């Protein structure tokens, strides 16, 4: 569903992405782990179009999206969440989701009819909010949500774009134990419908969710495979997992 082929990116003399290739197929959750500064977020930025790769390709399904802009990739079916929560803080929770839905439902070059009165958008937003467990937060300004709720809202926004593929940048970051467990359940549930590329530090989450795992060190994938294999890989252990893992 998503394939990355020989991606390279340098900032000056610093090579932040070295020849990275990986693919995620339907029904799969592929996790990318690696120490801080390994280039995980840079990789996500290249997939979503925030940064342009120096060479290599990003394929979404059969389509080469390497040279599309951020919004074009979103329209092509790439949904993403951010490491640092990114929502529309003055919008209500429902309007956050409705705004994302609107991008895929008819033209947004309508200048007169009040958007907030569009029942079709609001109802679908409500369905999505129920799915992530925010149904009782509908009318609250998004800026008033707790950190855990914001992470859920981000996922709701990503789902509203009816993505073909989800790119999740550390969705567990900053969550407490119970919140993480709820989020893991949610992601396990979503995986059936959306292939996921997950960048995550929380190893519990990674081992519970991922079907495949890649270890990124200094911009390079040093090991990739099923989590159980990677766990036994000495290189990966040395670089990242540590003895406790």
Tokens encoding 207: 């081992």
Should residue 171 be labelled a site residue for another protein when binding is judged by CB under 8 A? no
Q: Which of 95, 169, 200, 202 binds another protein (CB under 8 A)?
A: 95
Q: How far is the CB of 66 from another protein (least distance, A)?
A: 17
CA 70 to CA 139: how far, in whole Å? 29
Alpha-carbon gap, residue 245 to 232, rounded angstroms = 10
**Alpha carbon distances (Å) from 202 to 23, 35, 64, 122, 245:** 22, 12, 31, 34, 11
119 binds another protein (CB under 8 A): no
Q: Yes or no: say if 204 and 181 are a contact pair by the CB < 8 Å rule.
A: no
d(CA 143, CA 146): 8
Count residues contacting another protein (CB under 8 A)? 37
Task: Provide the minimum distance between the beta carbon of 81 and another protein in the complex, in angstroms, as a whole number.
Answer: 9
Tell the smallest beta-carbon distance from residue 5 to another protein (Å).
23
Q: Which of 14, 116, 238, 245 binds another protein (CB under 8 A)?
A: 116
- Taking the mean position of all CA atoms in its chain, how far away is CA 183? 13
How many CB atoms are closer than 10 A to CB 168? 28
- Smallest separation (angstroms) from another protein to the CB of 73: 8
Among 6, 25, 55, 108, binds another protein (CB under 8 A): 108
User: Could you list the residues that contact another protein (CB under 8 A)?
Assistant: 48, 50, 69-71, 74-75, 80, 82, 86-92, 95, 99-100, 102-104, 106-116, 118, 141, 157, 161
């Amino acid at each position: 569903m998503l394939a990355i082929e020989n991606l390279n990116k340098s900032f000056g003399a610093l090579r932040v992405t070295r020849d990275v290739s990986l693919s995620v197929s339907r029904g799969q959750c592929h996790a990318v782990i690696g120490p801080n500064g390994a280039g995980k977020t840079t990789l996500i930025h290249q997939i979503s179009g925030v940064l342009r790769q120096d060479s290599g390709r990003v394929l979404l399904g059969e389509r080469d999206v390497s040279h599309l802009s951020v919004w074009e990739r979103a329209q092509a079916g790439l949904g993403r969440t951010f490491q640092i929560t990114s929502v529309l803080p003055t919008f209500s929770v429902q309007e956050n989701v409705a705004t994302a839905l609107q991008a895929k439902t008819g033209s947004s070059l309508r200048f007169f009819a009040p958007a907030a009165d569009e029942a079709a958008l609001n109802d679908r937003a409500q369905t999505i909010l129920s799915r992530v467990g925010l149904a009782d937060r509908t009318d609250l300004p998004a800026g008033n949500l707790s950190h855990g709720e914001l992470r859920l809202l981000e996922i709701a926004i990503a789902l509203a774009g009816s993505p073909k593929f989800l790119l999740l940048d550390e969705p567990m970051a900053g969550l407490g134990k119970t919140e993480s467990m709820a989020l893991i359940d949610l992601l396990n549930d979503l995986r059936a419908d959306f292939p996921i590329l997950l960048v995550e530090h929380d190893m519990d989450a990674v081992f519970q969710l991922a079907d495949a795992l890649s270890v990124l060190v200094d911009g390079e994938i040093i090991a990739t495979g099923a989590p159980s294999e990677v766990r036994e890989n000495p290189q990966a252990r040395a670089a990242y997992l540590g003895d406790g893992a």
